[in-house]
Amino acid sequence: MHLRLSQFLTLTPNEISLLGELQKNSYAVPRNRDVIVQGYHYTSVFLLKQGAAIRYKIMHDGRRQIVNFVLPGELIGFPACLFETSLYSVSTLTEAIVAPITFDEIRALFGHSSRLAAAMFWQSARESAMYAEHLVDIGRRSAFERVGHLLLELVCRLRVIGLAEARSFDFPLTQELMADALGLSVVHVNRTFRRLRESGLVDVDGHHFVFKNLEGLAQLVDFESSYLSRFRISGLPFAD
Amino acid sequence: MHLRLSQFLTLTPNEISLLGELQKNSYAVPRNRDVIVQGYHYTSVFLLKQGAAIRYKIMHDGRRQIVNFVLPGELIGFPACLFETSLYSVSTLTEAIVAPITFDEIRALFGHSSRLAAAMFWQSARESAMYAEHLVDIGRRSAFERVGHLLLELVCRLRVIGLAEARSFDFPLTQELMADALGLSVVHVNRTFRRLRESGLVDVDGHHFVFKNLEGLAQLVDFESSYLSRFRISGLPFAD
DNA sequence: CGATTTCTTGATAGGGATCAAGGTCTGTGG
DNA sequence: CCACAGACCTTGATCCCTATCAAGAAATCG
């Protein structure tokens, strides 16, 4: 787990050891535990080494909107920690292993390798881009398309980090989570999801999701199969 | 216009001159012109010195989703330019003045001042945070709340850069733009917006928007008056 | 193994989309 | 100066997608 930076650039041994250093204080976090709570101030971030989490926001009437899912190798509390007060909460979906990284350590890291700084920058840019995609989903797609998109996005992202097969994946995704991520009601997700199954597009057993006709689904919900490749960085506009 | 970085840190004379250099090639762009087109590759970004623009995405069926509004002092094509192919388009809403900044220039800039690099990083983090807010708006709020939020967000953002009064602002915002930004139909925006006016909360004359009861509106649509202060950066986790 | 969660399914209602058409304003050209 | 086109706003009628309410079944968890 190298901050998933190796997706973008080849790390030098030195950089790898720097990253390894940061992870020495890993510890386990139980399921359904808030790692970051909206409204509070933080002075460190956490690398999610194992497990899954959600970034979400609770509104005054109790409704919840999940802004995205956090997968292994991604940073929790970033960029939330940059703000005076975190704008949203982050909660684990499974038991997880996190490695706290203090600002001091980040500063040192950046001093030693501006390439790593740049790489973190891209992570942030990627996240930004994914939010924009998500916005389009929620703003302009039907419930059916949204659910399809979410499933396809998850396989794609999990595949990149070796946590999914070509056409199936395991993930602690409940219908309530889908609803809160997609801006739908649980009841409607249930019906929509059933349609997906009855159409023979997807099979589910617990938390194991299988695409029985991935290409068909992708076409039906207007999912660009190049989803994640579009997030590939094209060049290094930064000094080494 | 200093990339709006001065919001976050005090620029040294040297930094200011560096930024000034970058803007020497400014030129005007007519209204309704795409500066960035989705699917194309770019090797420079543009600083929007004057005017307004939208970042948006067109779907295969022609529907449009605006992911956000670009105001003076912000970068166009960033982070879009980092990707192999731009994920969305950027189009001017008014005649605008932009200053192209090549990657070479950015690289040089970063070499001369890592503080500026860090500041750009924060801009990106801020943008990310604003997308997340927007997601909550679209995912979990009623049409009425969404329209109210959009108007309040715009005053707040415009006020910060000195382009709005305390309770009014000018902006080339049409109902169609609102609809595409908020995931609503134009017809429904029209009716919703009328309700806002009939409630005595907002007055509009052309592109001049006046809040007749800003506090009341903010409360009615659950808008945190601290909106932008929440986006303030708390510290500098980077080396000078 | 009792108690939460999570999933289902039915019934009903409503917010917002869609279709259709007219009105207003602004800029352009004759 | 007027006529016209195109953009923008407005309003009515209708429909349907999705929320909400309600309640039971199934799966999980401690």
The reply to whether residue B65 touches residue A139, judged by beta carbons under 8 angstroms, is yes
Q: How far is B80 from chain A (nearest CA, A)?
A: 8
Asked if B193 CB < 7 A from strand D, the reply is yes
Does residue B44 approach strand D to less than 7 Å at its CB? no
A207-211, B127-131, B145-149, B223-227, range with the lowest pLDDT: B223-227
B228 CA, D16 C1': Å apart: 38
Dist CA B208 CA B210 (whole Å): 7
Mean pLDDT comparison of A77-86, A121-130, B144-153, highest-scoring range:
B144-153
Strands (E) in chain B, as ranges, are 27-29, 34-36, 44-50, 53-58, 64-70, 75-76, 89-92, 96-102, 168-170, 202-205, 208-211
CB-proximal positions of chain C, under 7 Å: 5-11, 15-20, 26
Protein CA at A206 to nucleotide C1' at C1, angstroms: 22
* A 125-164, residues with C-beta < 7 Å of strand D: 142-144
Contact B129 A87 (CB under 8 A): yes
Supply the pLDDT for residue B3.
57
Q: Is the pLDDT of residue B124 over 50?
A: yes
Nearest CA in chain A to B84: A234
Residues of B in contact with A231 (CB under 8 A): 83
- Bases in strand D with any atom closer than 7 Å to a protein CB: 7-13, 17-22, 27-28, 30
Asked whether residue B46 carries a pLDDT value surpassing 80, the answer given is yes
Alpha carbon distance, N-terminus to C-terminus of chain B: 22
Q: Report the half-sphere exposure of A149 (CA within 13 A, side-chain side).
A: 22
What are the tokens at A64? 């919840």
Contact A204, A197 (CB under 8 A): yes
Q: Can you read off the two tokens belonging to residue A132?
A: 């924009």
Partner-chain residue, chosen from A41, A65, A222, that has the shortest CB–CB distance to B135: A65
Helix or strand holding residue A37 (H, E): none
CA-CA distance, A26 to A23, in Å (whole number)?
6
Mean model confidence pLDDT for chain A: 86
Token pair listed for B81: 């330019």
Give A239's pLDDT tier (boundaries 50, 70, 90): very low
Residue A104, judged by CB atoms within 10 A of its CB (0-12, 13-18, 19+), counts as: exposed
Q: Provide the pLDDT for residue A156.
A: 92
pLDDT in tens, A9-58: 566 777 777 777 778 889 999 999 999 998 898 888 898 999 999 999 99
Q: For residue A1, what pLDDT band results from cuts at 50, 70 and 90?
A: low
Instruction: Using pLDDT thresholds of 50, 70 and 90, give the confidence band for residue B144.
Output: very high
- Report the alpha-carbon distance of residue B135 to residue B36 in Å, rounded: 23
Give the distance, in angstroms, between residue B204 CA and nucleotide D8 C1'.
14
% pLDDT > 90, chain A:
57
- Closest-approach nucleotide to residue B184, Cα vs C1': C16
Task: Choose between B231 and A89: higher pLDDT.
Answer: A89
What DSSP designation does B165 have? Answer: -
List, for residues A137-154, the tens digit of each pLDDT value: 999 999 999 999 999 999
What distance in Å separates residue A191's CA from the closest CA in chain B? 19
Q: How far is CA B138 from CA A179, A191, B132, B164, in A?
A: 13, 22, 10, 25
Evaluate whether B237 touches A107 at the Cβ level (below 8 Å).
yes
| Angle formed at CA B222 by CA B217 and CA B227, multiple of 5 degrees | 90
